[in-house]
Amino acid sequence: MNYKTLSNFENLQGQLVLVRVDFNVPMNNGKILDNARIQAHLPTIKNLTDKGARVVIISHLGRPTNNEPELSLLPIANELEKLLDQSVSFCSGIDKQFIDQAKAALKPGKVLILENIRFFDGETDNDTFLASMLSNDVSLYVNDAFASSHRSHTSVDAICKFVKQKAVGMLMEEELRNLNIIDKFKQEQKKIAIISSGAKISTKLGLLRNLLDYADDVFIAGAMANTFIASQGYEVGTSKHEEDMLKEAKAIIEQAADNNCQIHLPTDVVCSYEPKSDLEPTAVSIDNIPASMMALDTGSETVANWIEKLKEHDLILINGPLGVFEVSPFDNGTNELFKQLNELGGYKVAGGGDTLYAIHKSGTEASFDFISTGGGALLEALEGKMLPGIKAITE
Ligand code: 3PG
């Protein structure tokens, strides 16, 4: 892969540098729950401000449909100001005239954040008009947003055609190094395990099917596991699951068997009436989920069995927590598995916004060889796909 890095650009004094980051952090009522994705971009931002560049930052937050105020980047601009220990300007206007004014007012060594890029018309359409507007006066475009690079969106893809010079940021460099390591494991046909969770099979269907081609073992947790458990004829009570995906779940298990890949489902779960910490948790095997309760965490027997099985693998990739980790005690399964991974050999990679949050919440960073900021991006890269944002920055 052919790309320039920030070390190729030493002379940036007074130059306007546009940096795409992924500040898509977990939020609740305007509060940032975990700032790991912001911290991860600090080396890139500092490198540029230290060189006297005028740094314009773009990011998305969530999936806005109507420019919802709760998805504004203002709280993130405030957080960045604290982390950088310097003032950060925020441009709330999304029209060209506001953006151009804000860029013109930006001083060397200073940082400006634009409003949520998904508030702008055309961002998710890889639109050339928006790309041209964003790139106005820009000397250098930097893609540091690995976690967004699986999207063919304007700010990671089309933009690259409109800028004179482009480079990958320091976080992106690390992410690309990690992908190389993963690729080697695949080339050498080493034993690969993937632990995947998420709310819905329907949104992960393509990914799940592709995982079966190269993983030896896929461990499924979270709400997604409930659909698989239900597909095997078990009652899942009031657990979140997708009734219309039962056939699909069954078919995935069959496809896995044909591909010599084993799917592992929880054999026990922790239930309650609701995900509330003041409610008594009930540990049951999956054939005993009470009709009035929902599965909220993976059980301890499952965690112990999975850890035992994972001892066989050379590459272990974790994408997602094992339960409702935000609410104690339903974080036990996640915390235990992450903690015990530390005892295992192999190259252990975790990725995704929620996964990062769960790792920091449990203080289990030491269990991983690499913690990627990418979730979907990491899995798509693992499938061997060239991500649109990486292709555009390396062309
Ligand atoms: C992520 O959290 O995986 C990235 O920020 C991408 O977000 P998206 O799935 O909304 O494109």
Percent above pLDDT 90 for the chain: 92
**pLDDT (0 to 100) of residue 139:** 98
> Cβ(353) to ligand 1 under 6 A?
yes
With bands split at pLDDT 50, 70 and 90, how would you rate the model's confidence at 206? confident
**329 pLDDT exceeds 90?**
yes
Q: What is the CATH number of the domain that holds 237?
A: 3.40.50.1260
**Residue 394 within any structural domain of the chain:** no
Q: Is 376 among the catalytic positions?
A: yes
With bands split at pLDDT 50, 70 and 90, how would you rate the model's confidence at 25? very high
For residues 193 and 164, state if they share a domain: no
> Cβ(63) to ligand 1 under 6 A?
yes
With bands split at pLDDT 50, 70 and 90, how would you rate the model's confidence at 207? confident
For residues 354 and 205, state if they share a domain: yes
Q: Which residues have CB under 8 Å from 203's CB, separation 6+?
A: none
Percent above pLDDT 70 for the chain: 100
Task: Ligand 1, residue 62: give the atom nearest the CA.
Answer: 10
**Residue 188 within any structural domain of the chain:** yes
For residues 261 and 326, state if they share a domain: yes
**pLDDT (0 to 100) of residue 203:** 79
Instruction: Name the closest-CA residue to atom 2, ligand 1.
Output: 353
> Cβ(151) to ligand 1 under 6 A?
yes
> Cβ(169) to ligand 1 under 6 A?
no
With bands split at pLDDT 50, 70 and 90, how would you rate the model's confidence at 211? confident
**Residue 63 within any structural domain of the chain:** yes
Tokens of 133: 């507007």
For residues 187 and 324, state if they share a domain: yes
Planar angle of CA 76, 121, 75, nearest 5 degrees: 10
Q: What is the mean pLDDT of residues 92-102?
A: 95
> Cβ(375) to ligand 1 under 6 A?
yes
Mean pLDDT of the chain: 96
For residues 221 and 137, state if they share a domain: no
**342 pLDDT exceeds 80?**
yes
For the entire predicted model, the pTM comes to 0.94
d(CA 143, CA 388): 12
The domain boundary, picked from 145, 168, 191, lies at: 168
Tokens of 241: 């699951």
**200 pLDDT exceeds 90?**
no
Centroid of ligand 1 to alpha carbon of 48 (angstroms): 25
The domain boundary, picked from 134, 150, 168, lies at: 168
**199 pLDDT exceeds 80?**
no
Structural domain harbouring 145: 6-168
**pLDDT (0 to 100) of residue 210:** 87
For residues 184 and 282, state if they share a domain: yes
With bands split at pLDDT 50, 70 and 90, how would you rate the model's confidence at 204? confident
For residues 156 and 297, state if they share a domain: no
Tell me the pLDDT tens digit for each residue of 256-271.
999 999 999 999 999 9
**Residue 100 within any structural domain of the chain:** yes
Tell me the pLDDT tens digit for each residue of 290-311.
999 999 999 999 999 999 999 9
Q: Is 200 among the catalytic positions?
A: yes
Task: Ligand 1, residue 60: give the atom nearest the CA.
Answer: 5
Q: How far is CA 135 from the centre of its chain?
A: 26
Instruction: Name the closest-CA residue to atom 6, ligand 1.
Output: 148
219 close to 193: Cβ distance less than 8 angstroms: yes
**285 pLDDT exceeds 90?**
yes
**Residue 1 within any structural domain of the chain:** no
Instruction: Name the closest-CA residue to atom 9, ligand 1.
Output: 376
> Cβ(376) to ligand 1 under 6 A?
yes
**pLDDT (0 to 100) of residue 93:** 95
**372 pLDDT exceeds 80?**
yes
For residues 193 and 231, state if they share a domain: yes
Q: Is 118 among the catalytic positions?
A: no
For residues 151 and 55, state if they share a domain: yes
The domain boundary, picked from 142, 168, 194, lies at: 168
Q: What is the mean pLDDT of residues 132-142?
A: 97
Centroid of ligand 1 to alpha carbon of 353 (angstroms): 8
Task: Ligand 1, residue 24: give the atom nearest the CA.
Answer: 5
Three-state SS annotation for the chain: CCCCEHHHCCCCCCCEEEEECCCCCCEECCEECCCHHHHCCHHHHHHHHHCCCEEEEECCCCCCCCCCHHHCCHHHHHHHHHHHCCCEEEECCCCHHHHHHHHHHCCCCCEEEECCHHHCCCHHHCCHHHHHHHHCCCCEEEECCHHHCCCCCCCCCHHHHCCCCEEECHHHHHHHHHHHHHHHHHHCCCCEEEEEECCCCCCCHHHHHHHHHHCCEEEEEHHHHHHHHHHCCCCCCCCCCCHHHHHHHHHHHHHHHHCCCEEECCCEEEEECCCCCCCCCEEEEHHHCCCCCEEEEECHHHHHHHHHHHCCCCEEEEECCCCCCCCCCCCHHHHHHHHHHCCCCCEEEEECHHHHHHHHHHCCHHHCCEEECCCHHHHHHHCCCCCHHHHHHHC
For residues 181 and 282, state if they share a domain: yes
Q: What is the mean pLDDT of residues 362-389?
A: 95
Q: Tally the domains of the chain.
A: 2
Task: Ligand 1, residue 374: give the atom nearest the CA.
Answer: 3
**201 pLDDT exceeds 80?**
no
Planar angle of CA 52, 54, 58, nearest 5 degrees: 135
